[in-house]
Amino acid sequence: MSKGNVREAALEVLLKVEKNQAYSHLLLNDTINKQKLNPKDTGLFTEIVYGTIQHQKTLDFYLSPFVKKPLNKLDDWVRILLRLTVYQTVYLDRVPERAAFYEAVQIAKKRGHKGISGMVNGVLRSLQREGLPSFNTLKDPIERIAVKTSHPEWLVKRWANQYGEKKAEAICTANLTHPKQTARVNIHRTTVAEVLSSLREEGLEAEQSEWIPEAIVVNKGVISKTKAFAAGNLTIQDESSMLVAYALDPQCHDTVLDACAAPGGKTTHIAEKLTGTGAVHSLDIHKHKVSLIEDQAKRLQLHNVNANEIDARKASEYFAKESFDRILVDAPCSGLGVIKRKPDLKWTKSENDVTRLAEIQGDILKGVWPLLKPGGILVYSTCTIDKEENDHVVDTFLTNERRAILDETMQERLPEKMKRLESERGTLQVFPDDRETDGFFIAAIKKT
């Protein structure tokens, strides 16, 4: 591969994602450094990689009429080269079609032979000449939504069954939008106004969040490279994720357990709300992720965080019974609420994963429940919108634990503009199409 060639680099990353189910976000920085991409080109490189993954099913629909054999019978690299080229011509205004076609043919010559480059050129020219096929040719509504919004059919069908076809399409459409860049201001050390002023002095375009009082939205610029971030006045976090600390409502001097804490965004929010008092015991099953929590606490100068490598299901082996005022179970989940940030997820997860994760989530709840004091609050949250991982897990737990009741006062603790999203039963389900945030579920459970 030629050093610095954006499209060749994108092809390599997409091949690794497809063959090895590698995570694209982990490969991006590594490739940018190894291939010595021009900093001016990294935006286009990232856009091609994420965009091609995000729109994969739609791109295949566009290409299929112009390829003589099924797309899955082509060599992987040829299929991906066609996808990323069509992605550029359909979705990116600033890439001239002739430039994208020329690059594709040159890469095909280099990686294959004259016959393959001719085929690639022929497919692209035919598509250019005859135009994109219409979604109206798809009569089955689930298939049409799946192709139009580039989601697996099993997922569209599942969401349609749970929320209706109209809502399923709205969720899928929202998943194709660019995620907002948001951060949380540590209002116990500074103010939102001071942070916004600091960011603007460094050339960033930022504003206060409409939904969360201590949140900001950055429309231009990189938060992690600012003075405010280095000083520990900011934490990168989605707005819906910030709601968890509101639902938990830790009080000064409380002892809090964050059972599945890495990378530490919610732990540090809880620690900030404790204003230097009490303690947050933050667990994660993976040792290398525990260090992420410690790094976050150190950067934010929070001294009331204790991070440990412990499987939450075995937490009762390490802590005394009824020793915590608050417990957070931000459970491992399918992540189907954050597809706009991690498009790989929709192609790698399956219905079996959802069922398996729901069982683990139930086991974690059972594992930490004995540690909660009477009158204490346990908050269960996930970044998925699937009912099997959310409502069903909570309902099963409430049925099996005699002293557990749904805390319907949770709404009173949420920021004013987010209260309307709460369901009639007292839980909170945020959808990706509600407020441009991630999809998220929160339930509060009280011990009698």
Q: Which residues are catalytic?
A: 383
From residue 234, give the alpha-carbon distance in Å to each of 45, 184, 250.
28, 6, 20
Largest CA distance in the chain: 74
ω into 263 cis (within 30 of 0)? yes
Q: Are 397 and 359 in contact (CB under 8 A)?
A: no
DSSP state of 167: H
Residue 437: which residues within 8 A CB-CB, separation 6 or more? 180, 211, 238, 239, 240, 430
Instruction: Give the count of alpha carbons within 13 A of 156, CB side only.
Output: 22
The span from the CA of 138 to the CA of 238, in Å, is: 36
DSSP secondary structure string, 282-319? EEES-HHHHHHHHHHHHHTT--SEEEEE--GGGGGGTS
Residue 404: which residues within 8 A CB-CB, separation 6 or more? 369, 378, 397, 398, 445, 446, 447, 448
Among residues 246, 249, 239, 241, the alpha carbon closest in space to that of 216 is found at 239
The span from the CA of 218 to the CA of 184, in Å, is: 11
- Tokens 């992420």 found at: 292
ω into 70 cis (within 30 of 0)? no
Count H helices, E strands: the chain? Answer: 19, 12
* Strand ranges, E, within 118-190: 181-185
Query: Token pair for residue 368?
Result: 């930490």
Q: Which residues pair with 280 in a beta bridge?
A: 256, 305
Among residues 404, 406, 398, the alpha carbon closest in space to that of 425 is found at 406
The span from the CA of 182 to the CA of 341, in Å, is: 12
Backbone φ, ψ for residue 25 (5° rounding): -65, -30
Residue 103: which residues within 8 A CB-CB, separation 6 or more? 7, 85
Residue 68: which residues within 8 A CB-CB, separation 6 or more? none
